[in-house]
Amino acid sequence: MAQYDTLTPRDGALEAPPPWEEKTMQRVALFVDGANMFYAQRDNHWHIDWRLVFNFFTDNKEKAAAYYFTATPPVGDPERVTKYRRFKTALQRMGYGVVDKEVRLIKSETSDVPVKMKGNLDIELVFRLLTEANTYDEVVLMGCDSDYIPIIGHLRAIGKVVTVVGRRGSVSNDLINVANKFLDLDTIRTRIEKKSA
């Protein structure tokens, strides 16, 4: 019986596989629409642990990028600003790049009382998806805004694998159908839920 562990490369047993048989690790990028995920957590009645999310989607893959897009509280609310800064620092320590901008208060035409807060970062998210497309093979988009349908279609057309993650009750079938894969948050809850202290 041959002793394969004693063979040398000259014997042919330890030669590297041909290039066409080599497997390269998939490069994955994670893009989180923070506002969308805030409402998904509120409606689902459980909280997401962003460290677990990061590990879940990058496990056994090469991490190309991880971004969290969110609006910051208005500067006139120091308590919320302080809380947000702690959250942002925690995300950065986990490996996320945080893309943020201050929320704008839109006032009523008839009074000075703010009636609406605006802090949408959809354009910034789509811009990064496009400008960094050559750095990833697969992208995980945590956000179910139907405005993302055209960019998802474009990314698939150029050969990217797109997984959309969100709350099934608040996502359109058109968005589900344009992605390679859709993951309902509830189906991965045990893997990403924040445990109470």
Fold exhibited by the domain 20-192: Rossmann fold (3.40.50)
Q: Burial letters for 43-77: b for 16+ Cβ neighbours within 10 Å, e otherwise?
A: ebeeebebbbbbebbbeeeebbbbbbbbbbbbeee
Q: What phi and psi values does residue 136 have, to the nearest 5 degrees?
A: -135, 155
pLDDT in tens, the chain (197 residues): 444 344 444 444 445 555 555 557 899 999 999 999 999 999 999 999 999 999 999 999 999 999 999 989 888 889 999 999 999 999 999 999 999 988 766 666 676 655 445 556 889 999 999 999 999 999 999 998 999 999 999 999 999 999 999 999 889 999 999 999 999 999 999 999 999 76
Enumerate the domain spans of the chain.
20-192
